[in-house]
Amino acid sequence: MWIVLLGLIGLAAGLVLVLGLERRYASSVLAFSLFGLLVGVLFGSIRVVPAGHVGVIDFFGHVSPNALKSGINLINPLAKVIPISIRTQEDKEVMSVPSKEGLTVELELSALYRLAPEHAVDIYKSVGHQYVDIVFRPQFRAASRGVTASYEAKALYTSEREVLGKFIQEHLQALVQDRGVVVENILLRKVSLPRTVSDAIEQKLKAEQDSERMKFVNQREEMEAERKRIEAKGVRDSQAIISETLTPQYLNYLWIKNLAENENVIYVATEANMPIFRSAETRGVPRRPQEE
């Protein structure tokens, strides 16, 4: 736009000189043309680079090695500025990848990445704006397939999926780091397996969980058996201690004390030194004197 404006101003100035207008009009037209030329050059030199971008200066095929930072910049008015994003971007991919068993698994992944500002000029010169389709996306797919081929399909269903995403990120970063692309994270969003395979994996996982549960039950039973053994040993030791301290005199004392606490027993001194029992129903009924 600014080039066209400068051309129009130059054309107006040339017409003034060619047509030979009166001096008083010619000076005014020339002054206005020069003023317009200065204004056009000034505004043509101002370029605004959006936030989160860097500007690559392309002057008729000659690319400046230094990229412009975001904000207002003064450059050659005839040069072209190409903004390139350095923000974090997301690339979603749905791909079929192989597993270690030779199964085909459908994965939905997301890659978070950004372009390093210092590599913006190189990426523009060597690849251009389409660096995502030309450089990043094919390497993303290759890295994903290369990593999943070393893991079993069940790893995608367990906590190993986080480790798997980390390995894909490291492998992908090694492939694209020379291009100045920084891989921030790889997210496994969805995993799809054939129905028969997913059922087999779920049954195997369930069997493993049942096995772990039985180990817990057996451990609990062993602890309970050990508790009972300790309790029985304590009872045995207690009985052994009591049997060692009992004497005939102490046993007679306990016998007489228990008889005294029982209302149905009347103790009468006999030759056999045995008590005479009385029924509770006969209490209060006068007894007949015993015949001699």
Per-residue pLDDT averaged across 222-241, rounded? Answer: 81
Query: ∠ at Cα 44 (40, 48), nearest 5°?
Result: 145
Q: Is residue 80 part of a domain?
A: yes
How many angstroms separate the CA atoms of 289 and 276, rounded? 15
How many angstroms separate the CA atoms of 256 and 108, rounded? 89
Q: Which domain holds residue 62?
A: 2-85
Q: Is residue 291 part of a domain?
A: no
Which tokens belong to 248? Answer: 């005939």
pLDDT (tens digit per residue) in 78-101:
888 889 999 999 999 998 888 887
Asked if residue 100 and residue 73 are part of one domain, the reply reads: no
Asked if residue 67 and residue 43 are part of one domain, the reply reads: yes
Give the containing element (helix H, strand E) for 182.
strand 181-192
**Average confidence score pLDDT of the chain:** 77
pLDDT (tens digit per residue) in 57-75:
998 888 898 989 988 888 8
How many angstroms separate the CA atoms of 261 and 132, rounded? 100
Burial of 40 (0-12, 13-18, 19+ CB in 10 A): buried
Confidence class for position 28, pLDDT limits 50, 70, 90: low
How many angstroms separate the CA atoms of 139 and 147, rounded? 12
- pLDDT reported for residue 26: 56
CATH number at residue 100: 3.30.479.30
**C-alpha 12 chain-centroid distance:** 66
73 in Cβ contact with 47 (< 8 Å): yes
Q: What are phi and psi for residue 188, nearest 5 degrees?
A: -90, 110
